[in-house]
Amino acid sequence: MFLMLYYKRGINNNRCQFVVKSQYMEGRESHSAKSSTRRPCMTQEATNYGRGWVTFDCYGTLVNWRKGMLSALESIVPGKASLLLDQYYLTEAEVEAERPFRSYRNVLAEALRRAARRSRIDLLSGSEHILADTLPSWPLFPDVGSALPMLRADGWRLAILSNIDRDLMSETLRRMPASFDKVITAEDVRTYKPAEGHFRYFLEATQVSPKNWVHVAGSYFHDIVTASRLGAMALWVNREGSQEATPQAAAVLSDLRQIIPTIHRLNSQQDEHAQPAAD
């Protein structure tokens, strides 16, 4: 299914938002629906959805970040990719936190340069750009292909909150199996998660009640703690099988296959707790 990317400006701000619409969906719209006034940054498909919003981190949650990065690094430092990637993990957040704000493309390059230096691995000039150059081709996790369309069918609006640049994200979005009503990038908010910028931008733009907001992410550090603090039902996708304590997560999933039953179960539990006690 071919996806087309649109840029629109929201009502409450002047920053561009991404809207992805499939050619298939557009073909199904009537002429009158196409000509009617639409909400900014929202696909026509989503305007009839009433459950609420499910927001996702992208890289590491929907996209296999580690597999894509290992493959890219192996092409420039054969046999040393794992060592370099481990050091990169320790370095990236440091670079993201520095001021002035760097684009993610520049974060990738600077963090890789520092990681290589700290690992005593020599990089050829220009090879520090390998991560940004290959990022659009990093693979989706297999469960994404069914999970996103099922969430759509279950009545949820979908959004991405990602530490990324808009142009890099646009290439990834073309390969997604479902449309997103809103995409918020680090470039939009000029900060990186775990800072609150993405989340507050989303809340302001959508005016969603926290009780109708689910946030799903593969990074406990970057996403779950902040989303939970701001009132979201925060679901941690623990793809790496980490044993760390997760007090801020409403639930822990090994992948996205059980996301809808998990959301329904948690909502039912919340409804039960909200009911007044019988006399």
H helices then E strands: how many in the chain?
12, 8
Q: Report in angstroms the alpha-carbon separations of 87 from 63, 243, 246.
A: 20, 21, 24
pLDDT in tens, 78-98: 999 999 999 999 999 999 999
Instruction: Give the mean pLDDT of 5-29.
Output: 34
- The amino acid present at 126, given as its one-letter code, is G
Strand ranges for the chain from DSSP E = 3-9, 16-22, 52-56, 156-162, 182-185, 213-217, 233-237, 251-253
More confident residue, 247 or 270: 247
pLDDT of residue 275: 62
Q: Is the pLDDT of residue 1 over 50?
A: no
Cα(84)–Cα(81) distance, integer angstroms: 5
pLDDT of residue 32: 34
* Cβ contacts of 109 within 8 Å, gap of 6 or more: 128, 129, 131, 132
pLDDT of residue 277: 53
What's the pLDDT band for 195 if we cut at 50, 70, 90? very high
Cα(111)–Cα(109) distance, integer angstroms: 6
Instruction: Give the mean pLDDT of 235-254.
Output: 94
- The domains found in the chain, sorted by start residue, are 3-63+139-274 (3.40.50.1000), 65-137 (1.10.150)
Cα(130)–Cα(123) distance, integer angstroms: 11
Instruction: Give the mean pLDDT of 212-218.
Output: 98
Indicate the range of 26-35, 160-169, 174-183, 228-237 predicted with least confidence: 26-35
pLDDT of residue 50: 65
| Tokens found for residue 255 | 């992948």
Identify the sign of the CA torsion 178, 182, 184, 185: positive
Instruction: Give the mean pLDDT of 37-51.
Output: 40
What's the pLDDT band for 2 if we cut at 50, 70, 90? very low
- The amino acid present at 243, given as its one-letter code, is Q
